[in-house]
Amino acid sequence: MDAVAILESEVRELVRTHGIDPVRDRAAFDGLLDTARENYERRAGRGDVPPLLDLARAERAVRDAVAGLGPLQRYLDDPEIEEIWVNSPSRVFVARGGTAELTPTILTSGQVADLVERMLEPTGRRIDVSSPFVDASLPGGERLHVVIPDVTREWSLNIRKFVARARSLDDLVALGTLTAPAARFLDACVRAGLNVLVAGATHAGKTTLVNALGGSIPADERVIVCEEVFELRLPGRDVVGMQCRQPSLEGTGEIPLRRLVKEALRMRPDRIVVGEVREAEAFDLLVALSSGIPGMCTLHAGSAREAVAKMCTLPLLAGENVTSNFVVPSVATSLDVVVHLARDARGARRVREIALVTGRVENGVVELAEIYRTERDALVRGAGHPVSTEPFARVGIDVAALLRAGD
């Protein structure tokens, strides 16, 4: 065994002896690592063990192996890397600035399985042949998704990091995601209690935008957040987050997103935020919004109009007694604002359009008013105007003057 392997083995033994969790109790782990290193150096001075030629590198390698994710930890620590995925032990990719890169990291099948087991251990979630998919949140807030054979040829995993480059709409303006006038308009919409649907493709920046919009929610509001796994980090003093739960080995105890949305209504919410609408929970969210509780949610769609069309079809999955005759008018009167994001040719995230739902339906199609649109890669003012200024006036906003200032 080389010097680093010996030191790692001794640190693992100390961790077992002291019964600490190296991931959650970093201070205690660092103390054990210091003790092991000092003992090792004394023994190396006597010639009992090989010397540590690069002390900093050795400590980092041991820390990553015992308290981190081994060969993947350096990618988690890199603030420029947004996502890590493993297609096979020899094909480890990362996304940096929206661009995928094949890394030089090569793992073994055993390492991949051990890493997944280590990541899932603190979450209480499981993966096996009977349940070959799993979603979970890592202690650092990263989102983990794993698929195993025989659904895939080899173990496949994705780790999506929450790269906190933007915590407010002003941060998004500085990053070029949207313009200052558009940011002021969205801020006014959230303060006025309008219902906001954020749409876009995977990794287009939907979660980041919702987090930024959360900064515009009045501080005295009670916000209930419902997600498949924890991703959103909304500011505020009265925020409650809930996540779904997988069924147990006996097939019981599952808590789907529909249940969370229903429970949120019993928790005295001033506002409901749903991390991502995929299926029948769209119906329960629509019922909540129809009851007068402001809300926000995200949805996968290629444009603002596609997002509204999808919101008109997903609730139909809730049951045969749910029909378009109920859903379409409910969408028209419950949704207020649709924001669509996409990545440009360089991988940068951009708001492509902001549209208002007018409340009118023509031939089964919900009408939209274009407030901002993309023209020659620039977000410019559209021809649309709010149908009603009353929600803005209630919070002291002259929305007509605000839009004129952005023209």
Q: Which domains does the chain have, with CATH numbers?
A: 3-68 (no CATH), 73-160 (3.30.450.90), 169-406 (3.40.50.300)
pLDDT at 303: 96
* CA end-to-end distance (rounded Å), the chain: 69
Omega cis (within 30) before 284: no
Q: For 236-243, what is the mean pLDDT?
A: 93
**What pLDDT does residue 165 have?**
66
From 43, 24, 46, 45, select the one nearest 35 (Cα to Cα).
43
Whether residue 297 has pLDDT greater than 90: yes
Burial group, residue 127, by CB count within 10 angstroms (0-12, 13-18, 19+): buried
Per-residue b or e along 369-398, where b marks 16 or more CB atoms closer than 10 Å to that residue's CB: bebbbbeeeebebbebebeeeebbeeeebe
DSSP code, position 123: G
Tokens 């209480």, located at residue:
124
Predicted confidence band of residue 163 (pLDDT cuts 50, 70, 90): low
Q: What is the mean pLDDT of residues 352-370?
A: 95
Per the CB < 8 A criterion, the answer to whether 123 and 137 are in contact is yes
Distance CA 89, CA 23 (A): 24
Structure pTM?
A: 0.83
What pLDDT is attached to residue 64?
84
Q: Tokens at residue 326, please?
A: 């109920």
What per-residue confidence (pLDDT) applies to 164? 60
pLDDT at position 76 over 80 = yes
pLDDT at 27 over 90: no
**Between 32 and 188, whose confidence is greater?**
188
Q: How many C-beta atoms surround the C-beta of residue 341 within 10 A?
A: 22
Tell me the C-alpha distance between 214 and 164, whole Å. 14
